[in-house]
Amino acid sequence: MTVGRALSLSKTLLAVCAGVGAVGGWLGLRAAPANILWSAVWTLPILSAPSLIAGWLSIHVARDYPGGSAMRKSWLLIGSSACAVGVSQAINFGSYIARLEGRGGEWVGFRQHANLVSIVLLFVALFFMWQSFARLGFGLSLRAGDQLTMLAIGAAAVMFLAFYQDMPDSRSKAFLVRSLQFANPLLLAALAVLGVLLRRISLEIGEGQLARSLRYLLLMLMARLLVIALGIVPVAHNNTLFSMARSAMMWSVPALFLLAVVERWKLIHAATEIANHPEDAIPADFVR
């Protein structure tokens, strides 16, 4: 598969995910059983599979860096995080099947374990990435917009604490699951702050594929925060538009993750093509 086709398919997947999610949000308010069936049908192909593909591609990206380097560790951790997301979605799929068969799905709360692993791995990965750029002098000077975004993320973290009881697994019978549900949004907020730092780096390094990869990462993180926020804000309850928007964003997260990885993977493919066909190389197009 060519790089252009991979990117095109990833963007198509993003649109499909958003559409499927929006329909799911609409069904969730009007026909809950139909929404469960709808989610069961689509969870593995457009939620779990893209995450696992992103994990596989991240390992290939990691091989582009010297052994033991911070960036190599970063991409290996990003791949592991993506695989943990895939596991979490597989647990969701199992819960949908259990509910369709009339069985209890309380064990779905244990998706929080996979979520926590995913968030921690991604936090460490992005910290290594930021550290690598910071050593080169990038991302050290924040603008007013960056600072305001960080303040907004902090305000969201406070809101998560205030509305903790409205989160999906806050009433789980398992104490560990409830604790993880409490911790995950706060860790995700910290992760989003790192994402803001990486966005600043992306603006400083230009408009190439690496910059676009960093921006997709930030979009993915902000989408995850908005999904949580729209799920607990009272005004969003039983509101069709908010429900469809929240569901569309939730289903789009794996596709955004995949797009971030594909953009970085394109650099490897471009370098390989230039090495194999140096007579066809056009330097100006290499990083664009």
Task: Return the CATH number of the domain spanning residue range 3-281.
Answer: 1.20.1070
Closest C-alpha to 235, from 245, 250, 225, 220: 245
- Going by the DSSP 8-state scheme, the letter that residue 212 receives in this structure is H
Residue 32 has pLDDT above 60, yes or no: yes
In the chain, where the domains are located: 3-281
17 versus 207: the higher-pLDDT residue is: 17
Residue 15 has pLDDT above 80, yes or no: yes
Residue 92 has pLDDT above 50, yes or no: yes
* Cβ contacts of 105 within 8 Å, gap of 6 or more: 94, 95, 96, 98, 99
283 versus 119: the higher-pLDDT residue is: 119
What percentage of residues in the chain have a pLDDT greater than 90?
Answer: 36
Listed ranges 35-44, 144-153, 160-169, 205-214; the one with the highest mean pLDDT: 144-153
For 134-153, the pLDDT digits (tens) are 999 998 889 999 999 999 99
Residue 239 pLDDT class (50, 70, 90 cuts): confident
Residue 1 pLDDT class (50, 70, 90 cuts): low
Note the pLDDT of residue 185: 84
Listed ranges 15-29, 106-120, 125-139; the one with the highest mean pLDDT: 125-139
Number of helices (H) and strands (E) in the chain: give both, helices first. 9, 0
Q: Which amino acid is at 198?
A: L
Note the pLDDT of residue 31: 65
pTM: 0.84
Least confident of 78-92, 141-155, 168-182: 168-182
C-alpha torsion sign, points 138, 140, 146, 152: positive
Residue 247 has pLDDT above 80, yes or no: yes
Note the pLDDT of residue 243: 87
Residue 286 has pLDDT above 50, yes or no: no
Q: What is the mean pLDDT of residues 159-163?
A: 82
Residue 14 has pLDDT above 50, yes or no: yes
Residue 281 pLDDT class (50, 70, 90 cuts): very low
